[in-house]
Amino acid sequence: MSLSNLGPGGVHSPLWRWVVERVWRLEHAFERSRAAARPEDDTRIRIFLVMGFFGLCFVGVSLGAGWSALFSRAGQGGGYAQGVEGARGDVVDRNGKLLAVDLAHYALYVDPREVWDAKETRAALGRALPQVPAKRLDKAVFGDHRAFVLGGLTPDEKDAIFNLGLPGVTFEEQERRMYPLGPTAAHLIGFVDSGGKGLAGAERALDDPIRKAAGGEGGPTQLSIDLRVQAALEDELRKAAEEFTPKGAVGLVTNVHTGEILGMASWPDYDANKAGEATDDQRLNRAAASVYEMGSTFKAFTVAIGLDTGVATAASTFDAREPYKLGYRTIHDYHATRAVLNLVEVFQHSSNIGTAMLAERVGGQRLSQYFTNLGLTKPAKVELQESARPLTPRKWDQDTVASTSFGHGMNISPLALAQAMNALLNGGEMRPLTIRKLPPGVRPEGRRVLSEHTSAEMLKIMRANVVPGEGGSGGKADVPGLSVGGKTGTGEKYDPAIRRYNHQRQVSSFAATFPTDGPLEADRYFVLILLDEPKGNANSFGFSTGGWVAAPAAGRVIERIAPFLGVKRKTELVTIANSPKNAAPEAGL
């Protein structure tokens, strides 16, 4: 049926009625033009109609494109499908220094069907690519199909082969993850697989934001570490490892108020660009994925708990003149003072007897609850998925109370130790650790686990343990003017072969903080140096305890990083004659 037969009265929609009327008039206009013998009018009308139709189409397309550009999410980087598959954004340190980046590399292929002179091509590629096995080249050049030869070529390497002018030799661009600083912070940064998926460290923990950054969303992923702090920490840890030849070693630097990890080192290390060539031992992140009996560094927690529960004060005394029997254990001091000690002296002399007496006063139920509140019975709260679960006692009897009070019977990661130490030193608030930089001035809300008074007392006690001439076990970590405090730790390792603790196998550490002076809210940092089974030497008089092998390294780290963290030295009197550095040799636990 034609439109002219419909008539305007047969259509109910006003808009459709208007369209029908216009078409009706246009059709009659054609008829009038033919009747008046004026074909030129007929032609003009048809041209006008065609132009109008295409004009409407153009307006529609323009409006659609404008709507998409202004209001749709296309092109806004809302997903990483818009970039190259597997592409990742840059990773930088807290100051914007590049840690990881995608760089264009090339894969080389040979299509023998396009090769002009197979022998010449084979010889040229052999000279240019000596690292490629001869059999692979032979198969590629003399085979029947296009074959992959080598990937990961840099632009310069690709150009050198391209300039040989070999027909049949082609290249395909591919993104490759690069770590400009190689082994520096490798355990924290991590690495990816060939498809661009994060497998370890920050690359795995922050996989999603790093991928989104490749599409232009959010900019580079900024980590909490400071490369200057990291470099100093790694250097001093490596020196200590070379001197005392341990199985492994750990270094940590944290901001106690924010939980930011400013430096994290695990020795031995590896080159993140060649992660596949590293051994499992080299790739192991000992700071996060290994657990240890931390020894006497745990005495800091026991002393803090004793103060916080009110069962002791700094002036409380403990009779350490004879070994102490608690449960099934008879407890001895490594260096027996055979004296009555106040709480500060118990800490300074690292007395197992005094610490066990304090823990008995606290009681197993309260001691275990405080350990839980301090995060010592769970994996450290941090983005790193390597964060290891601790080994904790099944029951809290007297024997367990005695053991855990001085760091035996519980195995925790260095990160868990750092997290709990932060709470001791920041005013008593528990905050998670983080590998991401926080905005300047931001301190996350924490959960109170100790009183501010307890935290202030612990800063004083830890400082007294390092002050030269005071007889503390941490004197070798002192840095004049920086008010360093800390606690030594020497945990003997349980040996299944002999079914007891082995005095020759130790985990030796020093847990330090600086500066200890100033108000609780002042900037403050925690430093940990840990050596797994170090060996004493002439410089340490044969000792391999924390005071001899870890405390000096911690002091050197603090001295080097203080300027980067804005901590200025203060003038103070230093007593040289009574300094532990010049006193008769004594092994600090």
Catalytic residues: 296
List the helix and strand counts (H, then E) for the chain: 21, 16
Reported as half-sphere exposure (CB side, CA atoms, 13 A), residue 461 has a value of 29
How many beta carbons lie within 10 A of that of residue 192, not counting itself? Answer: 23
Q: How is 434-495 classified by DSSP, letter by letter?
A: BSBPPPTT-----EE-S-HHHHHHHHHHHHHTTSTTS--TTGGG--TTS--EEEEEEEEEEE
Start-to-end CA span in the chain (Å): 104
How many beta carbons lie within 10 A of that of residue 90, not counting itself? Answer: 17
Q: Measured between alpha carbons, how far is 390 from 33 in angstroms, rounded to an integer?
A: 96
> What is the b/e burial string over 123-146, where b = at least 16 CB atoms within 10 angstroms of the residue's CB?
ebbeebbeeeeeeebebbbeeeee
Q: Measured between alpha carbons, how far is 509 from 522 in angstroms, rounded to an integer?
A: 26
Q: Measured between alpha carbons, how far is 165 from 190 in angstroms, rounded to an integer?
A: 39
Which tokens belong to 19?
A: 């369209």
Strand partners, 102: 177
Contacts of 366 (CB under 8 A, 6+ apart): 305, 309
How many beta carbons lie within 10 A of that of residue 573, not counting itself? Answer: 6
3-state secondary structure 240-263: HHHHHCCCEEEEEEEECCCCEEEE
H or E stretch covering 573: none
Rg (CA), the chain: 36
CA angle 176, 177, 179 (to 5 degrees): 135
Note whether 464 and 488 are within 8 A (CB): no
Which residue bears the tokens 């709260």?
A: 381
Q: Measured between alpha carbons, how far is 307 from 470 in angstroms, rounded to an integer?
A: 22
Q: Measured between alpha carbons, how far is 32 from 42 in angstroms, rounded to an integer?
A: 9
The pair phi, psi for residue 86, each rounded to 5°, is 85, 0
Note whether 241 and 265 are within 8 A (CB): no
Q: Which amino acid is at 144?
A: D
Strands (E), 270-363: 317-319, 324-326, 329-331, 340-342
